[in-house]
């Protein structure tokens, strides 16, 4: 009897551990598949939403060189401090126009520029992507936060040129517009820096 009990105890201790049931194994596989699908879905969302912006920003950075700025400190230092915005006549034959796009306005909102002179436009964004377009010229500029985007234009005749934003930037998007007023080179030179960036002083 004692010998029989000893054999039962021995057989119980020496039996190999039971394999997990098929149901448990299938449950683990299903969990792994679900986790994999969630990961793939998140990657797809990132690729479709964020990647195009990153690629576009990267291309613009390559085309524009080291024209990087910190959107949070634009107004504190560098070329986009308030006193440096608007138009300035450069040595030689040209004018540089600097602007900041910010929800829901352009700074400055009205700028005077000369006719018959090459104008170098340098613009950046303080928050999100904006796209000012200068009516009657076909010029569109994509202002990207963190980068200075540059384009060139020239006005053949005096006039007022509306400059609305064509990139939806939030509920106040419809109010986001600026204006360029082209005047003769002589009139432009007779105006103070303040008058060039404040059309009311003209």
DSSP assignment of 123-160 equals EEESSS-B-BEETTTTEE--B-BTB-EEEEE--SS-EE
Q: What is the pLDDT of residue 6?
A: 46
- Tell me the pTM: 0.63
3-state secondary structure of 43: helix
Using alpha carbons, select from 136, 133, 120 the residue that is nearest to residue 64.
Answer: 120
Task: Show the domains of the chain with their CATH numbers.
Answer: 71-201 (2.60.40.420)
User: Residue 55 above 80 pLDDT?
Assistant: no
For the stretch 1-20, pLDDT in tens is: 545 444 555 455 555 555 55
Cβ pair 104, 169 in contact under 8 A: yes
């Amino acid at each position: 009897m004692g010998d029989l009990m000893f054999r039962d105890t021995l057989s119980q201790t020496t039996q190999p551990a039971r394999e997990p049931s098929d149901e448990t194994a299938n449950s683990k596989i299903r969990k792994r598949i679900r986790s994999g699908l969630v990961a793939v879905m998140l990657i797809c969302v990132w690729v479709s939403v964020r990647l195009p912006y990153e690629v576009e920003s990267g291309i613009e950075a390559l085309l524009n060189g080291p024209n990087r700025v910190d959107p949070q400190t634009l107004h504190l230092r560098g070329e986009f401090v308030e006193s440096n915005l608007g138009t300035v006549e450069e040595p030689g034959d040209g004018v540089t126009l600097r602007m900041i796009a910010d929800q829901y306005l352009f700074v400055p909102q009205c700028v005077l520029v000369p006719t018959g002179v090459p104008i170098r436009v340098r613009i950046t964004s303080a928050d999100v992507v904006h796209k000012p377009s200068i009516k009657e010229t076909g010029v569109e500029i994509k202002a990207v936060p963190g980068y200075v985007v540059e384009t060139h234009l020239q006005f053949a005749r005096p006039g007022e040129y509306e400059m609305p934003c064509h990139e939806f930037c939030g509920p106040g998007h419809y109010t986001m517009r600026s204006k360029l007023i082209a005047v003769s080179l002589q009139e432009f030179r007779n105006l103070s820096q303040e008058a060039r960036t404040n059309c009311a002083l003209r």
